[in-house]
Chains A and B, each alone.
Chain A
């Protein structure tokens, strides 16, 4: 056992070295920080600000939809004079720009950067037992690329011709031809540049997450002992690494078409009184490239939320997550299938119907692992001892949205039924529930659950309950009626529905959606108040407020640089030993060895006691050059 002893001293020395950090300057500590926790908070605050902007934009166009021609002139000082006529009526071009920016902001800036950026950064080192990310510097770069991308996107909201307009999918030729719409001018250029930088940021982040998970797990943290959050973040990062570069190429080719006269996406176009010379390009090519990212993107958005929900539901049901391995395999299945279902967004683009058949088949297969996940969540609740923290409520809300929005995916994924429903409100209702609201709820649940670890203080639970109830009911009121609009054939992205006989109805439902959206937005102001107030004046957090098993709760309440004072704890068991028969408490943290819990060990766990010394003796080689 000499080796073990040696290992101990070695580790100890290393830790001592960590404790003697120079006090950092404000800039190094809070702005150009390389600490994963600070970077996570930077992502979180940025994400919240973006969510406010994205939500606000949606209210503007919801007002127009609920009350066509309503006087919105009072927004002139904020959004610019030229987008409203004398009567204060919204300009139809600007309407499309609003829809476009709402989608872009919510999908990329809130639910990708704000969600993955925050929680992958915050939780990966804390839950696997690492002092920081594999490369703190790349992590910092990742945030600041995101910041630059954000600044460009934000500025594009205020350029002369307005921000990008053409839907968040920016299909060419519309997006390629400044003559086609004002939203294809400067705003579109900035959109593309911003997205290119965003992709760089996302790739830097994702590579870091995967590297950290593979290399920096603490002693004993084998893959089969990792919390599901970490599995989810890893799969998400892999999805991002493999699919974002494709969007980058799509965006670059579009930039070439726009600025350098190439014809990747352009052919046979007559616009503004003249025939363009471009020939041989294909607008469908862009759609394939876009959706090759675009579809994995929806899983990039939802998987981290599902991962965090697994953790929160198990903790608060005081039960192990049901089917830990099934959960991992279903996420793996979702990740794999996510790459080969993209063309279900394109059934009606005129692509070969045979491809439509293939993608229908693959799309409906992806429903199976998704269903398995939902069933596992529900079984985790079965015979639990459930504590309804705000995080738990939001997690249950997430599962409900995931199911309610998911089932309509079975209809839409069926190419024959998609003929009628494609690009109608049925689609809007579907993805806002299953992807938008579910992922948003996951993000909010994560904030409520890990706020004590982030800021050392508690959020006010009562405000949390109010926030949950209004938001939960409100989201259903916003999106559920939109199924009916879809069944009535209402197309998406229409400025007004009065021009057609078949859509000149359901004004009451449109108003309901609008009012509910305003109420939801207002409820989230309560959350913002709670969030910022509690950072400074919230109740002090205890060591382990939710009696949770994962490693982050073994760190000091106010986590310093390097996360653990002294040695990083070793891990002996999986993270879901809640309410284990025989145990005194209803939770046994991962760092408690089996030798300390003879009363609750299963026979095969008693056998594992002999391996504990080995785990403690694992020696990491720190001599690898950076």
Chain B
């Protein structure tokens, strides 16, 4: 690669020198002519014309060099950069680079012409510009060519878009992620029924600890567990993120998964994807034992917008199930909320308490004594 850079650099330097020397001879010729006073054009005209062209050549060198310099830190799969860690991400990456190739070609062609014409057609007293007001064929050609290219890009883009945005498969692992100032909270449906319990923003109570506004009159909520430092997902299995926000707009961004979706207060959103590289896989691929998947916020949300970090852990499916089993339900970790559970469902709720508490006959008294505990607060 270094060889290529050096080779390119040499080619461009030679080109630059050639252009400068050639233009200098031209310049001398022109200078002789313009010594009679020419009121429109000053001596800088040629310098500016040549300058534009040299600028472009230097720009190409700069762009090639900076691309090669910067690409080691790209996220979009390129060269030895690992591919996206999600199934759809590999596809969007491909179309991104495909699109970039198309636009880079047009960018280079158009700019090259734009900077070459000033050099070629710079003012010369003895020449008259070519009166060429229109050419309908040309106009039609360069309307149709971009239109066809655009049509191709739209067609391929929408095919991918519709796939990514389709409904999640039935067997998808459903996880709730909620944005707040300033952090992410995740909630799982639990090990037993896997269903997320209802929530209501009016039940949110940070002091008591119910940050999600979980509705404990819904029995699905009894085995829900939450986490505010890590989001675990299984590898190779569809994951449906149910996204919401409770104060202002946030946006879930999982760069390595090519996942992004705004979190909107009052309007739950969703995004489903399949992660196909576990955290361990990435550690191995990058040779970096400290590698972590990260989740960031991409919708400005206030002071610590830049620090809404959540770690994403992609486990092998078996490890994931094991990890899930180890999690203690929210209710079990916060027994104060048992008082919110309707009396008829208390028995069901207690099922998710660790064995020693649930089987204990004193539990009932513990539960009844709870209101006093909370009223003390």
Q: Chain A: residues with CB nearer than 8 A to chain B?
A: 92-93, 96, 165-167, 171, 173-174, 177, 180-181, 266-271, 273, 275, 279-284, 317-326, 348-350, 353, 356-357, 360-361, 364-365, 367-368, 371-372, 374-379, 381-388, 393, 396, 399-400, 403-404, 407-408, 410-411, 414-417, 419-424, 461-462, 465, 469, 472-473, 476, 480-481, 484, 487-489, 491-497, 499-503, 505-506, 509, 547, 576, 578-581, 586
Contacts and interface: CB of A to CB of B under 8 A. Distances in A.
B309 interface: yes
B44 A410 contact: no
A173 B129 contact: no
A553 B207 CA distance: 74
Interface of B: 40-42, 44-45, 48-49, 51-52, 55, 59, 62-63, 66-67, 70-71, 73-76, 89, 92, 95-96, 99-100, 102-104, 106-107, 110-111, 113-115, 117-118, 121-124, 127-135, 138-139, 142-143, 146-147, 150, 153-154, 157-158, 160-162, 164-165, 181, 201-202, 204, 206-207, 213, 243, 246-249, 251, 253, 255-256, 258-262, 264-267, 269-270, 290-292, 294, 296-307, 309
Contact of A404 (B42, B107, B291): B107
25 contacts: A174-B300, A180-B301, A267-B267, A319-B130, A323-B133, A364-B150, A368-B143, A375-B138, A378-B110, A383-B132, A384-B130, A385-B127, A387-B123, A388-B118, A410-B102, A420-B89, A424-B298, A484-B66, A484-B74, A491-B297, A495-B306, A499-B309, A505-B73, A506-B70, A506-B73
The listed residue with most A CB atoms (<10 A of its CB), out of B48, B104, B309, is B48
Contacts of B154: 360-361, 364, 414
A388 B294 CA distance: 51
Contacts of B132: 319-320, 322, 379, 382-383
B129 A578 contact: yes
A171 B267 contact: no
A355 B298 CA distance: 21
Given A353-B165, A505-B73, A491 B258 contact: no
A414 B99 contact: yes
Contact of B249 (A267, A283, A499, A509): A283
A420 B134 contact: no
A495 B301 CA distance: 12
A180 B201 contact: no
B161 A357 contact: yes
Nearest to B295: A500
A496 B307 CA distance: 8
Nearest to B244: A268
The listed residue with most A CB atoms (<10 A of its CB), out of B71, B204, B290, B291, is B204
Contact of B40 (A177, A384, A387): A387
A104 to B, nearest CB: 14
B309 A500 contact: yes
Contact of B131 (A180, A491, A580): A580
Given A364-B153, A461-B44, A180 B123 contact: no
Contacts of B63: 480
Given A364-B150, A365-B150, A387-B45, A268 B123 contact: no
Nearest to B99: A411
B342 to A, nearest CB: 21
A174 B246 CA distance: 11
B157 to A, nearest CB: 4
B130 A579 contact: yes
A374 B113 CA distance: 11
Given A383-B130, A576-B133, A92 B45 contact: no
Contacts of B102: 410
List the 4 closest A-B pairs by CB distance, nearest first.
A267-B266, A350-B269, A353-B165, A383-B130
Contact of A283 (B52, B71, B261, B264): B264
Contacts of B309: 499-500
A424 B74 CA distance: 13
Contacts of A461: 42, 44
B280 to A, nearest CB: 16
Contacts of A387: 40-41, 45, 123
Given A372-B143, A378-B110, 5 more contacts: A96-B305, A385-B127, A416-B95, A484-B71, A579-B129
A414 to B, nearest CB: 4
B146 A367 contact: yes
Nearest to A404: B107
Contact of A270 (B44, B62, B213, B298): B213
The listed residue with most A CB atoms (<10 A of its CB), out of B52, B55, B165, B306, is B306
Nearest to A184: B302
A177 B247 contact: yes
Given A174-B300, A371-B146, A419 B259 contact: yes
A379 B132 CA distance: 9
A281 B292 CA distance: 38
B117 A404 contact: no
B247 A385 contact: no
A472 B55 contact: yes
Nearest to A477: B62
A269 B246 contact: yes
Contacts of A576: 133
Contacts of B42: 461
B103 A353 contact: no
Contacts of A499: 306-307, 309
Nearest to B66: A481
Contacts of B213: 270
B298 A273 contact: no
A96 B303 contact: yes
Nearest to A269: B265
The listed residue with most A CB atoms (<10 A of its CB), out of B70, B107, B243, is B70
A320 B258 CA distance: 48
Contact of A282 (B111, B262, B266, B307): B266
A279 B266 contact: yes
Contacts of A462: 44
Given A360-B158, A420-B92, A385 B248 contact: no
A173 B76 contact: no
A487 B74 contact: yes
Given A360-B157, A382-B121, A422-B260, A400 B114 contact: yes
Contacts of B307: 499
A493 B300 contact: yes
Contact of B206 (A273, A280, A357, A399): A273
A417 B202 contact: no
A367 B150 contact: yes
Contacts of A578: 129, 131
A365 B151 CA distance: 8
Contact of B117 (A378, A487, A580): A378
B111 to A, nearest CB: 6
B48 A388 contact: yes
Given A367-B146, A414-B153, A349 B300 contact: no
Contact of A385 (B66, B121, B264): B121
Contacts of A393: 48, 52
A580 B128 CA distance: 9
The listed residue with most A CB atoms (<10 A of its CB), out of B103, B162, B256, is B103
Contact of B303 (A92, A407, A472): A92
Contacts of A349: 262, 264, 269
B258 A411 contact: no
A123 to B, nearest CB: 22
Given A180-B302, A410-B99, A586-B128, A350 B261 contact: yes
Contact of B121 (A322, A357, A383, A493): A383
A59 B144 CA distance: 43
Nearest to A397: B52
A350 B103 contact: no
B248 A177 contact: yes
The listed residue with most A CB atoms (<10 A of its CB), out of B110, B213, B265, is B265
A267 B267 CA distance: 8
B277 to A, nearest CB: 15
The listed residue with most A CB atoms (<10 A of its CB), out of B59, B206, B299, is B299
The listed residue with most B CB atoms (<10 A of its CB), out of A167, A271, A348, is A348
